[in-house]
Amino acid sequence: MPAQKTVLSFGLVAIPVALHTAVQENDVGFHQLHGADQRRIRYKKVCEGCGKEIRQSDIVKGYEFEKDRHVVVTDEELEAIKTEKEKAIQILHFVEPGEISTVSCARAWHALPEPGGEKAFELLRRALIDEDKIAVGKTVLGTKESLMAVLAHEEGLVVQSLYFADEIKDPPKARAQPKVAPQEVAMARKLVQTMDSPFDPADYKDEYQARLKKLLESKISGGAFAAPVKSGQVNVADLMEAFKQSIEQAGPGKKPSAMKKAGKAK
């Protein structure tokens, strides 16, 4: 996907940038097949009026203002109603990193400076790091205004879209808060401290996807597939005993992948 060109508006400073998608999907994809003959299931876009199959180039956007009555809006018209500020990412203020909830975060892009914006880009990056701040702004993506966060790191800037408050759902129900003894809290804290280690995304792999690929390779070649041996789980009736065994198995400084399962607490 080509980079999106935009501008980071920082006070009276305009920084031209290109936004490159920061994540990619590595999941194995499956097609839907007819079980009887294993042929692909296809979905066709059909006009409910004339019954004909419609090409993508013949499809336009329509807003239904009454039942079965629409007004057609073109991409050019949608772009024309944007103000210059809405075409840019307008930085409004700066916040502490802990003020943005992880629930608010949506899509992410790597931002790279366009020609002429390199120095201003670097100054913004350095200021965010030195002040330990995140920039919060707004822009219009497609047909929707979005909150945006700009985060700095050693390599550059990451732009993250955020959900508005009215888009975030409350928990489905109130959570019961049982009474806990001080020694139980101390044991839970000790387990957290024992498992405390730096986070490096490279330490984590999608192990299920690797096994899925092996399954597919074995089916393609006609060979046998050996399913992973199930590790026996130990049922621990006492919650404190479960914490104790977990602490013993974790050990200080161990990576999550090296830690054995502590069993299931009842």
For 203-224, the pLDDT digits (tens) are 888 888 888 888 888 888 887 7
Q: Give the mean pLDDT of 197-201.
A: 83
pLDDT, tens digit (0-9, with 9 covering 90-100), for 2-25? 888 999 988 889 999 999 999 888
Q: Give the mean pLDDT of 89-94.
A: 94
Task: Note whether 153 and 113 are same-domain residues.
Answer: yes
For residue 131, the enclosing domain spans 4-25+80-167
Kindly state whether residue 52 falls inside one of the protein's structural domains: no
Kindly state whether residue 238 falls inside one of the protein's structural domains: yes
pLDDT, tens digit (0-9, with 9 covering 90-100), for 145-156? 899 999 999 889
Query: pLDDT at position 86, please?
Result: 79
Domains contained in the chain, number: 2
Instruction: Please determine, for residue 160, whether its predicted confidence score (pLDDT) is greater than 60.
Output: yes
Query: pLDDT at position 262, please?
Result: 40
Of 144, 250, 235, 130, whose CA–CA distance to 187 is shortest? 250
Burial per residue of 18-57, b for 16 or more beta-carbon CB atoms within 10 angstroms, e otherwise: bbeeeeeeeeeeeeeeeeeeeeeeeeeeeeeeeeeeeeee
In eight-state DSSP terms, residue 256 is G
pLDDT, tens digit (0-9, with 9 covering 90-100), for 27-51? 888 999 999 999 999 989 999 889 9
Kindly state whether residue 43 falls inside one of the protein's structural domains: no
Task: Note whether 130 and 223 are same-domain residues.
Answer: no
Query: pLDDT at position 36, please?
Result: 92
Q: How far apart are CA 158 and CA 45, in angstroms?
A: 37
Task: Note whether 195 and 96 are same-domain residues.
Answer: no
Q: How far apart are CA 13 and CA 7, in angstroms?
A: 10
Task: Note whether 103 and 158 are same-domain residues.
Answer: yes
Query: pLDDT at position 232, please?
Result: 58
Task: Tell me the pairing of strands 105-113 and 134-141.
Answer: unpaired
Kindly state whether residue 16 falls inside one of the protein's structural domains: yes
Kindly state whether residue 73 falls inside one of the protein's structural domains: no
Task: Note whether 121 and 8 are same-domain residues.
Answer: yes
